[in-house]
Protein backbone atom coordinates (compact mmCIF):
# COMPACT_ATOMS: atom_id res chain seq x y z
CA UNK A 1 0.00 0.00 0.00
CA UNK A 2 1.03 3.62 -0.42
CA UNK A 3 1.39 5.41 2.89
CA UNK A 4 2.18 9.06 3.52
CA UNK A 5 3.65 9.81 6.94
CA UNK A 6 3.23 13.42 7.99
CA UNK A 7 4.87 15.61 10.62
CA UNK A 8 2.62 18.65 11.09
CA UNK A 9 4.01 22.00 12.24
CA UNK A 10 4.07 22.70 15.97
CA UNK A 11 3.22 25.81 17.92
CA UNK A 12 6.32 25.46 20.01
CA UNK A 13 7.64 28.97 20.01
CA UNK A 14 5.16 29.52 22.78
CA UNK A 15 6.87 27.25 25.30
CA UNK A 16 10.23 28.85 24.70
CA UNK A 17 9.22 32.44 24.03
CA UNK A 18 10.80 32.01 20.65
CA UNK A 19 10.32 33.50 17.29
CA UNK A 20 8.91 30.77 15.04
CA UNK A 21 11.83 31.17 12.59
CA UNK A 22 14.07 29.90 15.36
CA UNK A 23 12.44 26.49 15.43
CA UNK A 24 14.97 23.70 15.77
CA UNK A 25 14.50 21.23 13.01
CA UNK A 26 15.91 17.77 12.71
CA UNK A 27 14.53 14.80 10.76
CA UNK A 28 11.69 13.13 12.63
CA UNK A 29 13.15 9.95 14.09
CA UNK A 30 9.76 8.47 15.03
CA UNK A 31 8.47 8.76 11.46
CA UNK A 32 11.70 7.45 9.95
CA UNK A 33 11.52 4.35 12.17
CA UNK A 34 7.87 3.79 11.28
CA UNK A 35 8.73 4.24 7.59
CA UNK A 36 11.50 1.68 7.56
CA UNK A 37 9.36 -1.03 9.17
CA UNK A 38 6.52 -0.29 6.77
CA UNK A 39 8.89 -0.49 3.82
CA UNK A 40 10.23 -3.83 4.88
CA UNK A 41 6.67 -5.08 5.16
CA UNK A 42 6.42 -4.26 1.44
CA UNK A 43 4.72 -0.85 1.49
CA UNK A 44 5.58 2.24 -0.51
CA UNK A 45 6.18 5.11 1.92
CA UNK A 46 6.61 8.87 1.66
CA UNK A 47 7.52 11.22 4.53
CA UNK A 48 6.24 14.80 4.55
CA UNK A 49 7.82 17.03 7.17
CA UNK A 50 5.61 20.10 6.87
CA UNK A 51 7.63 22.67 8.85
CA UNK A 52 10.99 21.51 7.49
CA UNK A 53 9.82 21.43 3.89
CA UNK A 54 7.87 24.66 4.29
CA UNK A 55 4.63 22.90 3.34
CA UNK A 56 1.30 24.44 4.27
CA UNK A 57 -1.83 22.30 4.57
CA UNK A 58 -2.80 22.76 0.97
CA UNK A 59 0.69 21.81 -0.21
CA UNK A 60 0.78 18.73 2.02
CA UNK A 61 -2.66 17.60 0.87
CA UNK A 62 -1.56 17.96 -2.73
CA UNK A 63 1.53 15.83 -2.04
CA UNK A 64 -0.65 13.15 -0.44
CA UNK A 65 -2.98 13.23 -3.44
CA UNK A 66 -0.19 13.20 -6.04
CA UNK A 67 1.42 10.22 -4.30
CA UNK A 68 -1.96 8.46 -4.56
CA UNK A 69 -1.69 7.55 -0.93
CA UNK A 70 -3.96 4.79 0.39
CA UNK A 71 -3.36 5.70 4.03
CA UNK A 72 -2.08 8.75 5.88
CA UNK A 73 -0.19 8.51 9.18
CA UNK A 74 0.19 11.67 11.23
CA UNK A 75 2.59 12.18 14.12
CA UNK A 76 1.55 14.40 16.99
CA UNK A 77 3.03 15.82 20.12
CA UNK A 78 0.88 18.01 22.34
CA UNK A 79 2.16 21.21 20.75
CA UNK A 80 1.46 19.96 17.23
CA UNK A 81 -1.91 18.41 18.07
CA UNK A 82 -4.22 21.20 16.94
CA UNK A 83 -2.49 21.44 13.58
CA UNK A 84 -2.43 17.64 13.29
CA UNK A 85 -6.17 17.57 13.94
CA UNK A 86 -6.88 20.26 11.29
CA UNK A 87 -4.84 18.35 8.78
CA UNK A 88 -6.57 15.05 9.57
CA UNK A 89 -10.01 16.64 9.21
CA UNK A 90 -8.97 17.97 5.79
CA UNK A 91 -7.60 14.60 4.68
CA UNK A 92 -10.82 12.92 5.73
CA UNK A 93 -13.13 15.46 4.12
CA UNK A 94 -11.15 16.00 0.90
CA UNK A 95 -9.57 12.60 0.26
CA UNK A 96 -11.63 10.25 2.43
CA UNK A 97 -8.76 7.78 3.02
CA UNK A 98 -7.94 6.03 6.32
CA UNK A 99 -5.82 8.01 8.76
CA UNK A 100 -3.84 6.87 11.77
CA UNK A 101 -2.31 9.19 14.33
CA UNK A 102 0.70 8.28 16.47
CA UNK A 103 3.20 9.94 18.79
CA UNK A 104 3.03 11.53 22.22
CA UNK A 105 -0.48 13.03 22.22
CA UNK A 106 -2.29 9.79 21.28
CA UNK A 107 0.02 7.80 23.55
CA UNK A 108 -0.85 9.91 26.56
CA UNK A 109 -4.48 10.72 25.74
CA UNK A 110 -5.65 7.89 23.43
CA UNK A 111 -9.35 8.10 24.25
CA UNK A 112 -9.54 11.84 23.87
CA UNK A 113 -7.53 11.80 20.63
CA UNK A 114 -9.54 9.04 18.97
CA UNK A 115 -12.77 10.88 19.70
CA UNK A 116 -11.55 14.34 18.88
CA UNK A 117 -8.99 14.16 16.07
CA UNK A 118 -11.08 12.62 13.31
CA UNK A 119 -8.41 9.91 12.80
CA UNK A 120 -9.64 6.36 12.24
CA UNK A 121 -6.97 4.83 14.45
CA UNK A 122 -4.72 6.06 17.24
CA UNK A 123 -1.42 4.23 17.67
CA UNK A 124 -0.47 4.16 21.33
CA UNK A 125 3.21 3.96 22.31
CA UNK A 126 6.01 2.47 20.28
CA UNK A 127 4.57 2.24 16.79
CA UNK A 128 6.76 0.00 14.61
CA UNK A 129 4.97 -3.31 15.06
CA UNK A 130 1.48 -1.90 15.61
CA UNK A 131 1.56 0.06 12.38
CA UNK A 132 2.51 -2.98 10.30
CA UNK A 133 -0.36 -5.02 11.76
CA UNK A 134 -2.77 -2.11 11.45
CA UNK A 135 -1.90 -1.54 7.80
CA UNK A 136 -2.41 -5.20 7.08
CA UNK A 137 -5.82 -5.12 8.71
CA UNK A 138 -6.80 -2.02 6.70
CA UNK A 139 -5.56 -3.67 3.50
CA UNK A 140 -7.58 -6.81 4.20
CA UNK A 141 -10.63 -4.86 5.33
CA UNK A 142 -10.53 -6.41 8.81
CA UNK A 143 -11.29 -4.75 12.12
CA UNK A 144 -8.10 -4.30 14.16
CA UNK A 145 -9.81 -5.94 17.15
CA UNK A 146 -6.87 -7.73 18.67
CA UNK A 147 -4.10 -5.44 17.63
CA UNK A 148 -2.37 -4.22 20.73
CA UNK A 149 -1.51 -0.53 20.65
CA UNK A 150 -4.30 0.36 18.20
CA UNK A 151 -7.28 2.36 19.45
CA UNK A 152 -10.37 3.03 17.31
CA UNK A 153 -14.06 3.87 17.47
CA UNK A 154 -16.86 1.41 16.84
CA UNK A 155 -20.07 3.41 16.80
CA UNK A 156 -19.92 5.42 19.98
CA UNK A 157 -17.61 3.01 21.78
CA UNK A 158 -13.87 3.14 22.02
CA UNK A 159 -12.07 -0.10 21.22
CA UNK A 160 -8.58 -0.64 22.59
CA UNK A 161 -6.93 -4.03 23.06
CA UNK A 162 -4.40 -2.46 25.46
CA UNK A 163 -0.82 -1.30 25.15
CA UNK A 164 1.70 -3.38 23.30
CA UNK A 165 4.69 -4.80 25.13
CA UNK A 166 7.73 -2.63 24.50
CA UNK A 167 10.35 -4.03 22.16
CA UNK A 168 12.86 -5.93 24.30
CA UNK A 169 15.82 -5.73 21.96
CA UNK A 170 16.16 -2.32 20.33
CA UNK A 171 18.92 -3.67 18.06
CA UNK A 172 16.24 -5.62 16.23
CA UNK A 173 14.55 -2.43 15.06
CA UNK A 174 15.66 -1.38 11.61
CA UNK A 175 17.60 1.79 11.07
CA UNK A 176 15.55 4.88 10.28
CA UNK A 177 14.58 5.47 6.63
CA UNK A 178 17.00 8.28 5.79
CA UNK A 179 16.41 7.92 2.08
CA UNK A 180 12.89 9.30 2.63
CA UNK A 181 13.84 12.66 4.15
CA UNK A 182 14.95 15.70 2.22
CA UNK A 183 18.13 17.67 2.82
CA UNK A 184 16.60 20.56 4.66
CA UNK A 185 17.79 20.07 8.22
CA UNK A 186 20.83 20.92 10.31
CA UNK A 187 19.92 22.97 13.35
CA UNK A 188 21.67 22.06 16.61
CA UNK A 189 19.80 23.77 19.39
CA UNK A 190 18.76 27.38 19.22
CA UNK A 191 22.03 28.97 18.20
CA UNK A 192 24.16 26.47 16.35
CA UNK A 193 23.53 25.32 12.81
CA UNK A 194 25.21 23.37 10.07
CA UNK A 195 25.24 25.01 6.66
CA UNK A 196 25.30 21.75 4.76
CA UNK A 197 22.29 19.74 5.92
CA UNK A 198 23.50 16.72 3.96
CA UNK A 199 26.41 16.46 6.44
CA UNK A 200 24.15 16.31 9.49
CA UNK A 201 22.32 13.37 11.10
CA UNK A 202 20.47 12.75 14.32
CA UNK A 203 20.28 9.38 16.02
CA UNK A 204 18.60 7.95 19.09
CA UNK A 205 20.56 5.36 21.06
CA UNK A 206 18.20 4.74 23.99
CA UNK A 207 14.46 4.92 24.62
CA UNK A 208 12.88 6.20 27.82
CA UNK A 209 14.33 7.65 30.99
CA UNK A 210 14.65 6.22 34.53
CA UNK A 211 14.15 9.63 36.24
CA UNK A 212 10.84 11.29 37.07
CA UNK A 213 11.13 15.04 36.66
CA UNK A 214 7.74 16.62 37.29
CA UNK A 215 7.68 18.78 34.12
CA UNK A 216 8.72 16.00 31.73
CA UNK A 217 6.48 13.61 29.80
CA UNK A 218 9.29 11.34 28.61
CA UNK A 219 9.09 8.74 31.43
CA UNK A 220 5.35 8.25 30.97
CA UNK A 221 5.66 7.58 27.26
CA UNK A 222 7.70 4.45 27.77
CA UNK A 223 6.06 3.48 31.07
CA UNK A 224 9.05 4.60 33.14
CA UNK A 225 11.31 2.09 31.43
CA UNK A 226 14.76 2.75 30.01
CA UNK A 227 16.21 0.66 27.19
CA UNK A 228 19.50 0.93 25.37
CA UNK A 229 20.73 -0.15 21.97
CA UNK A 230 24.06 -1.94 22.03
CA UNK A 231 27.02 0.34 21.38
CA UNK A 232 27.98 -1.77 18.35
CA UNK A 233 24.56 -1.28 16.84
CA UNK A 234 24.79 2.51 17.35
CA UNK A 235 28.30 2.59 15.85
CA UNK A 236 27.03 0.64 12.84
CA UNK A 237 24.42 3.32 12.24
CA UNK A 238 27.02 6.09 12.56
CA UNK A 239 29.37 4.26 10.20
CA UNK A 240 26.56 4.13 7.67
CA UNK A 241 26.11 7.91 8.05
CA UNK A 242 29.84 8.47 7.60
CA UNK A 243 29.83 6.36 4.43
CA UNK A 244 27.06 8.64 3.23
CA UNK A 245 29.08 11.81 3.78
CA UNK A 246 27.72 12.86 7.17
CA UNK A 247 30.13 14.41 9.66
CA UNK A 248 27.94 15.89 12.40
CA UNK A 249 25.91 13.54 14.59
CA UNK A 250 23.38 14.71 17.14
CA UNK A 251 22.58 12.00 19.70
CA UNK A 252 19.13 13.11 20.72
CA UNK A 253 18.54 10.73 23.65
CA UNK A 254 16.96 12.48 26.60
CA UNK A 255 19.74 11.34 28.71
CA UNK A 256 22.75 9.85 26.98
CA UNK A 257 24.77 9.41 30.17
CA UNK A 258 22.49 7.19 32.28
CA UNK A 259 25.13 4.49 32.05
CA UNK A 260 28.64 6.02 32.18
CA UNK A 261 30.26 2.68 31.27
CA UNK A 262 28.21 2.54 28.10
CA UNK A 263 29.31 6.09 27.23
CA UNK A 264 32.94 5.09 27.74
CA UNK A 265 32.51 2.08 25.49
CA UNK A 266 30.90 4.35 22.90
CA UNK A 267 33.82 6.79 23.11
CA UNK A 268 36.36 4.05 22.50
CA UNK A 269 34.48 2.84 19.45
CA UNK A 270 33.50 6.18 17.89
CA UNK A 271 36.94 7.80 18.05
CA UNK A 272 38.27 6.51 14.74
CA UNK A 273 35.27 7.76 12.75
CA UNK A 274 36.34 11.43 12.67
CA UNK A 275 32.89 12.81 13.31
CA UNK A 276 31.75 15.68 15.51
CA UNK A 277 28.93 14.75 17.81
CA UNK A 278 26.62 16.32 20.39
CA UNK A 279 24.61 14.85 23.23
CA UNK A 280 22.33 15.59 26.18
CA UNK A 281 23.48 14.67 29.67
CA UNK A 282 22.31 15.01 33.22
CA UNK A 283 24.63 17.18 35.29
CA UNK A 284 24.99 14.45 37.90
CA UNK A 285 26.52 11.96 35.44
CA UNK A 286 30.04 10.80 36.14
CA UNK A 287 32.38 13.83 35.84
CA UNK A 288 35.06 11.53 34.44
CA UNK A 289 33.10 11.44 31.19
CA UNK A 290 33.67 14.99 29.93
CA UNK A 291 37.31 14.60 28.99
CA UNK A 292 36.62 11.22 27.42
CA UNK A 293 33.72 12.41 25.30
CA UNK A 294 35.69 15.48 24.25
CA UNK A 295 38.63 13.32 23.15
CA UNK A 296 36.20 11.11 21.24
CA UNK A 297 34.87 13.96 19.09
CA UNK A 298 32.01 15.33 21.20
CA UNK A 299 31.78 19.10 20.69
CA UNK A 300 28.58 20.14 22.41
CA UNK A 301 27.00 18.91 25.59
CA UNK A 302 23.52 20.00 26.57
CA UNK A 303 22.48 19.99 30.24
CA UNK A 304 18.96 20.21 31.62
CA UNK A 305 19.89 22.61 34.43
CA UNK A 306 16.34 23.92 34.91
CA UNK A 307 17.05 26.25 37.84
CA UNK A 308 19.67 27.77 40.09
CA UNK A 309 17.35 27.47 43.09
CA UNK A 310 17.26 24.36 45.25
CA UNK A 311 13.59 24.75 46.16
CA UNK A 312 12.66 24.92 42.49
CA UNK A 313 14.82 21.88 41.66
CA UNK A 314 13.10 19.99 44.47
CA UNK A 315 9.68 21.07 43.22
CA UNK A 316 10.64 19.62 39.82
CA UNK A 317 11.94 16.44 41.48
CA UNK A 318 15.12 16.97 39.47
CA UNK A 319 17.36 15.30 42.06
CA UNK A 320 20.27 17.67 41.44
CA UNK A 321 21.59 20.73 43.24
CA UNK A 322 22.82 24.10 41.91
CA UNK A 323 26.33 23.06 42.96
CA UNK A 324 26.18 19.84 40.95
CA UNK A 325 24.93 21.77 37.93
CA UNK A 326 27.59 24.43 38.21
CA UNK A 327 30.39 21.89 38.68
CA UNK A 328 29.23 19.87 35.66
CA UNK A 329 29.29 22.89 33.36
CA UNK A 330 32.68 23.99 34.66
CA UNK A 331 34.13 20.53 34.22
CA UNK A 332 32.72 20.25 30.71
CA UNK A 333 34.11 23.71 29.88
CA UNK A 334 37.52 22.62 31.12
CA UNK A 335 37.34 19.75 28.65
CA UNK A 336 36.77 22.30 25.87
CA UNK A 337 33.20 21.23 25.24
CA UNK A 338 30.66 23.84 24.13
CA UNK A 339 28.13 23.86 26.95
CA UNK A 340 24.41 24.51 26.59
CA UNK A 341 22.25 24.91 29.69
CA UNK A 342 18.48 24.66 29.52
CA UNK A 343 16.46 26.57 32.12
CA UNK A 344 12.77 26.66 32.96
CA UNK A 345 11.13 29.81 34.32
CA UNK A 346 7.93 30.25 36.27
CA UNK A 347 7.89 27.55 38.97
CA UNK A 348 5.00 28.40 41.30
CA UNK A 349 7.13 27.67 44.38
CA UNK A 350 9.59 30.35 43.44
CA UNK A 351 9.68 34.02 42.70
CA UNK A 352 11.80 36.44 40.76
CA UNK A 353 14.59 35.85 43.28
CA UNK A 354 14.74 32.20 42.17
CA UNK A 355 15.08 33.23 38.52
CA UNK A 356 17.89 35.54 39.61
CA UNK A 357 19.62 32.50 41.09
CA UNK A 358 19.32 30.82 37.69
CA UNK A 359 20.94 33.80 36.00
CA UNK A 360 23.66 33.79 38.66
CA UNK A 361 24.34 30.12 38.02
CA UNK A 362 24.45 30.67 34.27
CA UNK A 363 26.93 33.53 34.65
CA UNK A 364 29.13 31.93 37.30
CA UNK A 365 29.35 28.57 35.58
CA UNK A 366 30.33 30.31 32.33
CA UNK A 367 27.97 28.13 30.32
CA UNK A 368 28.30 29.08 26.64
CA UNK A 369 24.69 29.03 25.51
CA UNK A 370 21.42 29.04 27.42
CA UNK A 371 17.86 28.19 26.49
CA UNK A 372 15.04 29.52 28.60
CA UNK A 373 11.77 27.58 28.57
CA UNK A 374 8.49 28.62 30.10
CA UNK A 375 7.06 26.07 32.51
CA UNK A 376 4.37 24.26 30.56
CA UNK A 377 1.93 21.68 31.82
CA UNK A 378 2.21 18.96 29.21
CA UNK A 379 -0.20 16.04 29.44
CA UNK A 380 1.75 13.06 30.71
CA UNK A 381 3.71 15.07 33.26
CA UNK A 382 3.35 14.88 37.02
CA UNK A 383 2.65 18.62 37.10
CA UNK A 384 -0.19 18.24 34.61
CA UNK A 385 -1.69 15.46 36.71
CA UNK A 386 -1.40 17.52 39.92
CA UNK A 387 -2.97 20.64 38.39
CA UNK A 388 -5.66 18.62 36.69
CA UNK A 389 -6.84 17.32 40.06
CA UNK A 390 -7.47 20.88 41.20
CA UNK A 391 -8.93 22.22 37.96
CA UNK A 392 -9.33 20.25 34.71
CA UNK A 393 -6.95 21.62 32.10
CA UNK A 394 -7.82 21.83 28.40
CA UNK A 395 -6.78 18.62 26.66
CA UNK A 396 -6.25 19.91 23.17
CA UNK A 397 -3.27 22.08 23.99
CA UNK A 398 -0.39 22.55 26.34
CA UNK A 399 -1.06 24.96 29.18
CA UNK A 400 1.52 27.51 30.12
CA UNK A 401 1.97 28.06 33.83
CA UNK A 402 0.99 31.73 33.49
CA UNK A 403 -2.49 30.61 32.46
CA UNK A 404 -3.07 28.80 35.73
CA UNK A 405 -0.84 30.63 38.17
CA UNK A 406 -0.83 34.09 36.66
CA UNK A 407 2.95 34.27 36.87
CA UNK A 408 4.58 36.78 34.57
CA UNK A 409 6.79 34.26 32.85
CA UNK A 410 7.73 36.63 30.00
CA UNK A 411 9.36 39.05 32.41
CA UNK A 412 11.20 36.21 34.11
CA UNK A 413 12.26 34.80 30.79
CA UNK A 414 13.60 38.18 29.74
CA UNK A 415 15.42 38.58 33.02
CA UNK A 416 17.52 35.48 32.42
CA UNK A 417 17.78 35.69 28.65
CA UNK A 418 18.77 39.35 28.43
CA UNK A 419 20.91 39.19 31.58
CA UNK A 420 22.87 36.41 29.95
CA UNK A 421 23.06 37.37 26.29
CA UNK A 422 23.27 41.12 26.43
CA UNK A 423 26.96 40.97 27.30
CA UNK A 424 29.22 41.79 24.36
CA UNK A 425 32.21 40.28 26.20
CA UNK A 426 30.44 36.93 26.43
CA UNK A 427 29.77 36.96 22.68
CA UNK A 428 33.44 37.64 21.93
CA UNK A 429 34.80 34.93 24.26
CA UNK A 430 32.17 32.51 22.96
CA UNK A 431 33.22 33.07 19.35
CA UNK A 432 36.89 32.79 20.33
CA UNK A 433 36.24 29.48 22.12
CA UNK A 434 34.32 27.96 19.27
CA UNK A 435 36.96 29.02 16.73
CA UNK A 436 39.83 27.77 18.88
CA UNK A 437 38.51 24.36 19.81
CA UNK A 438 35.83 23.68 17.23
CA UNK A 439 37.12 25.18 14.03
CA UNK A 440 34.92 23.21 11.62
CA UNK A 441 31.76 23.97 13.58
CA UNK A 442 32.86 27.57 14.13
CA UNK A 443 33.33 28.24 10.43
CA UNK A 444 29.98 26.58 9.70
CA UNK A 445 28.32 28.88 12.17
CA UNK A 446 29.88 32.11 11.04
CA UNK A 447 27.70 31.67 7.97
CA UNK A 448 24.72 31.76 10.32
CA UNK A 449 25.71 34.98 12.09
CA UNK A 450 22.64 36.97 10.93
CA UNK A 451 20.37 34.25 12.32
CA UNK A 452 22.16 34.32 15.68
CA UNK A 453 21.97 38.11 15.91
CA UNK A 454 18.28 37.92 15.04
CA UNK A 455 17.76 35.32 17.77
CA UNK A 456 19.33 37.51 20.43
CA UNK A 457 18.00 40.90 19.38
CA UNK A 458 14.50 39.91 18.27
CA UNK A 459 13.83 38.26 21.55
CA UNK A 460 12.41 41.37 23.14
CA UNK A 461 9.93 41.92 20.36
CA UNK A 462 8.92 38.27 20.50
CA UNK A 463 8.36 38.47 24.25
CA UNK A 464 6.13 41.47 23.79
CA UNK A 465 4.19 39.71 21.06
CA UNK A 466 3.66 36.66 23.23
CA UNK A 467 -0.09 35.96 23.16
CA UNK A 468 -2.17 35.78 26.29
CA UNK A 469 -3.47 32.33 27.24
CA UNK A 470 -7.00 32.99 26.00
CA UNK A 471 -5.79 33.80 22.48
CA UNK A 472 -4.61 30.22 21.89
Do 35 and 74 contact (CB within 8 A), yes or no? no
Site for ligand SF4 in 249-278 (CB under 6 A): 254-255
Pairing of strands 157-160, 150-154: antiparallel
Please, which residues have CB within 8 angstroms of residue 389's CB and are 6 or more apart in sequence? none
356/345 Cα distance (integer angstroms): 10
Do 386 and 350 contact (CB within 8 A), yes or no? no
- Smallest distance from ligand SF4 to CB 304, Å: 5
Binding mask 120-149 for ligand B12 (x = CB under 6 A): ---x--xxx--x------------------
Q: Which of 18, 131, 216, 329 binds ligand SF4 (CB under 6 A)?
A: 216
Site for ligand SF4 in 68-127 (CB under 6 A): none
Task: Decide if residue 17 touches ligand B12 (CB under 6 A).
Answer: no
- Smallest distance from ligand SF4 to CB 193, Å: 24
Do 188 and 278 contact (CB within 8 A), yes or no? yes
Per CB under 6 A, which region of 70-78, 207-215, 232-240, 367-375 contacts ligand SF4?
Answer: 207-215
Q: Which is nearer to ligand SF4, 130 or 381 (CB)?
A: 381
Selection from ligand SF4, ligand B12, none that 297 binds (CB < 5 to 8 A by kind) is none
10 Å Cβ neighbour count for 179? 11
Q: Which is nearer to ligand SF4, 190 or 373 (CB)?
A: 373
Residue 158 exposure: Cα atoms within 13 Å on the Cβ side? 16
Q: Which of 17, 22, 69, 80 binds ligand B12 (CB under 6 A)?
A: 80
Do 306 and 216 contact (CB within 8 A), yes or no? no
In the β-sheet with 338-345, what is the strand arrangement from edge to edge? 200-203, 248-251, 276-281, 298-306, 338-345, 369-374
Per CB under 6 A, which region of 12-20, 238-246, 313-321, 441-449 contacts ligand B12?
Answer: 12-20
3-class SS of residue 324: helix
393/376 Cα distance (integer angstroms): 12
10 Å Cβ neighbour count for 294? 18
269/297 Cα distance (integer angstroms): 11
Q: Which is nearer to ligand SF4, 204 or 213 (CB)?
A: 213
DSSP class of 180: G
Task: Decide if residue 34 touches ligand B12 (CB under 6 A).
Answer: yes
Site for ligand SF4 in 301-340 (CB under 6 A): 304
- Smallest distance from ligand SF4 to CB 191, Å: 21
Number of residues that bind ligand B12 (CB under 6 A): 44
If you count them, how many residues does the chain have? 472
- Smallest distance from ligand SF4 to CB 94, Å: 38
Which residues of this chain interact with ligand B12, rule CB under 6 A?
5, 10, 12, 15-16, 24, 26-31, 33-34, 73-75, 77-80, 100, 102-105, 107-108, 123, 126-128, 131, 204, 216-218, 221, 252, 254, 373, 378-380
Amino acid sequence: MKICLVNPPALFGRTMNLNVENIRLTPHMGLMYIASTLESAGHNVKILDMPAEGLNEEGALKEVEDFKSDIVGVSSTTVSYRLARNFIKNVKSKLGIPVFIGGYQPTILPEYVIKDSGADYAVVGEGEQTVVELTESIEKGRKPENIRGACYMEGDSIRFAGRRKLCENLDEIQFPAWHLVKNCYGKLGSLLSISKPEEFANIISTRGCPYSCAFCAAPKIYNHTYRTRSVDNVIKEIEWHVENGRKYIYIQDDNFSVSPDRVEEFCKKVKHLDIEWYCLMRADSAPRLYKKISQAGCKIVYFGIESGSQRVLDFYNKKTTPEINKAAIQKANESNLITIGSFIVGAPVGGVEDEKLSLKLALESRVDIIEVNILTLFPGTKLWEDYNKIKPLPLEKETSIHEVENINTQERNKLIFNGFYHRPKHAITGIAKILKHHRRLGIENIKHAPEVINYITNRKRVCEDYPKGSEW
